[in-house]
């Protein structure tokens, strides 16, 4: 697919790769640099370098690579299926697995494994991702197996008729033990790969939260219910109120911390409960799964009195 950009007179001179990363937020700067080096980007009909500075009047032609065909890729993943019938399946996603193929990661994803799973069944189902969890997020997901189920489930998500509860381990303890974060979100002005309230394209976003467990002044376990489905909504909202998720370097930076010298292994976010109306039978169902061992190990470390040490900040002592 070919995309053309004509640089307007109001555009400030900048590197070509910097310009493109703001226009193609789904691609990383490193991925764009590889594409430029491979000759997929031309400026004024000439091959370019990442460092080339664009100026008013330049015409940039970007030949975006086409997605590789979705296929069984020979890497079989163990899927923890909680429910399955002819219309849909509910599973417990393991942290560390990318849900959907994307540039630079066309294979070895959850959707590849689902295709494998369905092919080993009657072979007629086509799995469709209705919603996504970030790579580092564990927990409950629903996947449609027919176009009609996908359409019906997607409509429930759009109408916010889905029950969703997440739990997270966060830095510090919110002043209010229950609350509602109502802050519009969109791609961050400075870094479009992040979601932020500092955005040129704000969209309504609401998350309710409840503190379930505190670990002195150092950290807390929080249950969250998003009423909208913005990218990185929970992570961005918690960052907005000053309580980023432990292990989340994207939003917490050096504050994400370590436990007694051991760095926290991932973003401590778990999709605990998912409920929806079955797309065919109309019966409401709800599934809840406990947080995985790595999440529980961090929680137990905090609960057992081990110190939480922000990597770039002041040591916080746990109160007895």
- Interatomic CA distance for residues 186 and 193, integer angstroms: 10
Active site residues per annotation:
134
- Contact between residue 275 and residue 284 where contact means Cβ atoms under 8 Å apart: yes
Name the residue ranges covered by the structural domains of the chain.
2-63, 67-159, 164-320
Residue 294's pLDDT is 94
Q: What are 265's two structure tokens?
A: 């292994």
Number of continuous H segments (helices) and E segments (strands) in the chain: 7, 21
CATH topology of domain 67-159: Pseudouridine synthase (3.30.2350)
Residue 120's pLDDT is 66
Residue 81's pLDDT is 94
pLDDT tens-place values along the chain, 320 residues long: 567 888 887 777 889 988 888 887 667 777 788 778 767 888 998 888 888 999 888 999 887 655 444 454 544 457 899 999 999 999 999 999 888 766 556 567 888 888 888 876 665 667 888 888 999 999 999 999 988 998 899 899 988 899 999 999 999 999 999 999 999 998 888 887 789 999 888 999 999 999 999 998 889 999 999 999 888 999 999 999 999 999 999 998 876 777 767 789 899 999 999 999 999 999 999 999 999 999 999 999 998 866 666 554 444 443 33
Residue 6's pLDDT is 87
Query: If 0-12 CB within 10 Å is exposed, 13-18 middle and 19+ buried, where does residue 175 land?
Result: exposed
Residue 308's pLDDT is 61
Alpha-carbon Rg for the chain, nearest whole angstrom, is: 22
Residue 111's pLDDT is 83
Buried b (16+ CB within 10 A) or exposed e, 296-314: eebbebbeeebbbbbeeee
Backbone angles phi and psi of 30, in degrees to 5 = -65, -40
Task: Please choose, from the candidates 202, 57, 100, 85, the residue with its C-alpha nearest in 3D space to the C-alpha of residue 144.
Answer: 85
Residue 107's pLDDT is 67
CATH assignment, 164-320: 3.30.2350.10
Q: How far is CA 238 from CA 89, 167, 195, 250, in A?
A: 30, 12, 11, 12
- Interatomic CA distance for residues 40 and 17, integer angstroms: 12
- Contact between residue 179 and residue 220 where contact means Cβ atoms under 8 Å apart: no
Residue 74's pLDDT is 43
First-to-last alpha carbon distance for the chain, in angstroms, is: 60
Residue 210's pLDDT is 98
Q: What are 285's two structure tokens?
A: 């169902």
CATH topology match: 2-63 vs 67-159: no
- Interatomic CA distance for residues 97 and 72, integer angstroms: 16
2-63: what CATH class? alpha beta
Residue 67's pLDDT is 46
């Amino acid at each position: 697919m070919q995309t053309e950009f004509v640089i307007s007179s109001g555009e400030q001179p900048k590197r070509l790769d910097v310009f493109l990363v703001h226009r193609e937020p789904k691609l990383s700067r490193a991925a764009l640099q590889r594409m430029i080096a491979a000759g997929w980007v031309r400026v004024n009909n000439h091959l370019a370098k990442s460092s080339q500075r664009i100026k008013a009047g330049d015409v940039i032609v970007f030949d975006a690579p086409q997605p590789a065909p979705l296929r069984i890729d020979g890497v079989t993943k163990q899927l923890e299926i909680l429910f399955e019938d002819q219309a849909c399946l509910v599973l417990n996603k393991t942290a560390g697995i990318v849900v959907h193929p994307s540039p630079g990661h066309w294979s070895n994803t959850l959707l590849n494994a689902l295709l494998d799973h369905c092919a080993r069944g009657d072979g007629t189902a086509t799995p469709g991702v209705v919603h996504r969890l970030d790579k580092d997020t564990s927990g409950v997901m629903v996947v449609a197996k027919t176009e009609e189920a996908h359409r019906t489930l997607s409509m429930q998500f759009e109408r916010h008729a889905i029950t969703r509860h997440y739990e997270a381990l966060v830095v510090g303890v919110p002043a209010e033990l229950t609350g509602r974060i109502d802050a519009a979100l969109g791609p961050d002005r400075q870094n479009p790969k992040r979601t932020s309230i500092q955005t040129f394209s704000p969209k309504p976003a609401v998350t309710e939260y409840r503190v379930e467990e505190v670990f002195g002044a150092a950290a807390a376990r929080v249950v969250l219910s998003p009423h909208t489905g913005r990218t990185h909504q929970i992570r961005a909202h918690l960052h907005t109120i000053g309580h980023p998720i432990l292990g989340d370097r994207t939003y917490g930076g050096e504050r994400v911390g370590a436990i007694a010298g051991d760095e926290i292994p991932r973003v401590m976010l778990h999709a605990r409960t998912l409920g929806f109306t079955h797309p065919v039978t109309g019966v409401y169902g709800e599934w809840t799964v406990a947080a995985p061992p790595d999440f529980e190990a961090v929680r137990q470390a905090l609960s057992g009195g081990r110190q939480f040490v922000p990597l770039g900040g002041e040591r916080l002592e746990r109160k007895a």
